[in-house]
A and B are shown apart, each in its own frame.
Chain A
């Protein structure tokens, strides 16, 4: 069963409400809002997983708390605002969700937010990879 959490549904609707060119502006706002990595990761780049499918170097790390709430951390260079924007959408959209809720997010969520035309379908694949790898880390933490 897949289910789109309210937070991601809200982000999707925000994009869909805009004209194509304004969708890029909103994506840039997300890119600018990507939080800095917590210090414990900045000193330990080895903890981070590289998302190979993205053109720009982007790294993620997923923590699952005892309450099963997922925390996604991501970093990408400022020269790669599109990738930063994708990561930021997921960081904000997944915030506060439980691991099961994250696993239930539809895999085609990136294709539903109306960016394919403005950004190109090929580039959207990077966001699918980010979501896929996030889920995989969640599963790995669950199993541990």
Chain B
């Protein structure tokens, strides 16, 4: 790894503590060679209003999604994007953002599709940095162009397609949306726009664990015992489980994927990014309504 890990005591109980850094650590390491800080937000203009000095911006819509097809960018596009942000393959990348790192975790998940070796989250994200009165700048970073290799995206390990979900019944499915979306009262998060799902409800057998339960009031991740109680206790997940998480377009479930994989140490977790906007509009797939997971559908 290019830059030392944050060995703060608050992370030591997590399965992969090297995936998190604290605001104190980041403050102390700003400007270190081999470190690039990336801001990734829901709001495309938030970076411009002020950001951590030196941070570059990567937007989930404009940068990470293919402009034509509903898919992520490919290896060539990723290589161009990262090279333009001054990130090379051995760079330590720390991502932070708004909404308890919801979009930052999504960006981290996409980085992982390309196997970027050292990518971490700033625990608490923008809100914590801001609440501690730390520096912001409105000066856009102007990184030197560097070479990032063209690496083929690998969807086989942490990404699930609709077909994978259809084959998955009987193994744990986690629906990380709000209870209202899960039960079928509505197709989008409360206070969010409709994004075109034609049916409401959830994928049969899915447990509902809203993503935000993993975040504390200040936007940091909850401590290990609380996360264990939530996912191993309430949701009944066990070591060795093959798990698929989904939400509406795969962003909130990327946050839960991070928690399950890097904080709790589950080794087979996939994010179904088609999520409800695909499932809820697909023809002839089973749907369950109400607050109960529902049984395994007959083939």
A24–B44 CB distance below 8 A: yes
Q: Decide yes or no: A83 and B43 within 8 Å by CB, A78-B49, A122-B195, A129-B193 being known contacts.
A: yes
B42 adjacent to A55 (CB under 8 Å): yes
B45-78 at interface with A (beta carbon < 8 Å) = 45-46, 48-49, 59, 61-62
Which residues of chain A (80-125) have a CB below 8 Å from chain B? Answer: 80-83, 85, 117-120, 122-123, 125
Main secondary structure of the interface of A (DSSP, over half): helix
Residues of B within 8 Å of A80, CB to CB, are 43
Interface residues on A, range: 20 to 34
> Closest residue of chain B to A21, judged by CB?
B140
Indicate whether B1 reaches chain A with its CB closer than 8 angstroms.
no
Across-interface contacts of A117 in B (CB, < 8 A): 62
Please determine whether A81 and B48 come into contact, CB atoms closer than 8 angstroms. Answer: yes
B residues 30-45 near A (Cβ < 8 Å) are 42-45
**A12-55 interface (Cβ within 8 A of B):** 24-25, 27-28, 31, 52-55
Interface string of B181-197 (1 = CB under 8 A from A): 00000000001111100
Nearest chain-A residue to B45 (Cβ)?
A: A81
A54 to B43, CA, bound (A): 11
Interface pair A118/B44, CB less than 8 Å apart: yes
CB <8 Å contact, A82 and B193: no
Is A11 part of the binding interface, using a Cβ–Cβ cutoff of 8 Å?
A: no
Give the total of B residues in contact with A, Cβ under 8 Å.
16
Find out whether the CB atom of A79 lies under 8 angstroms from the CB atom of B191: no
Q: A28–B98 contact, CB under 8 A?
A: no
Bound complex: CA of A25 vs CA of B194, how far in Å? 28
Asked whether A82 lies within 8 Å of B43 as measured between CB atoms, the reply is yes
Task: State A83–B59 Cα separation when bound (angstroms).
Answer: 16
Q: Are B44 and A123 closer than 8 Å at their CB atoms?
A: yes
A57 proximal to B (CB < 8 A):
yes
Q: Are B193 and A120 in touch, CB under 8 angstroms?
A: no
Q: Are A53 and B194 in contact (CB under 8 A)?
A: yes
A118 engages B48 (CB within 8 Å): no
A38 smallest CB distance to B (angstroms): 24
Whole-angstrom distance between the alpha carbons of A80 and B43 in the complex?
Answer: 6
A78 to B126, CA, bound (A): 13
Known contacts A28-B45, A55-B43, A82-B43; can you find 17 more A-B pairs with CB under 8 A? A24-B48, A27-B45, A52-B191, A53-B193, A55-B42, A55-B193, A78-B49, A79-B43, A79-B46, A82-B44, A82-B45, A83-B43, A120-B59, A122-B195, A125-B193, A126-B193, A129-B193
Query: What are 13 contact pairs spanning A and B, CB under 8 A?
Result: A24-B45, A24-B48, A28-B49, A52-B193, A55-B42, A55-B193, A57-B191, A79-B43, A81-B43, A81-B48, A81-B49, A119-B44, A123-B44
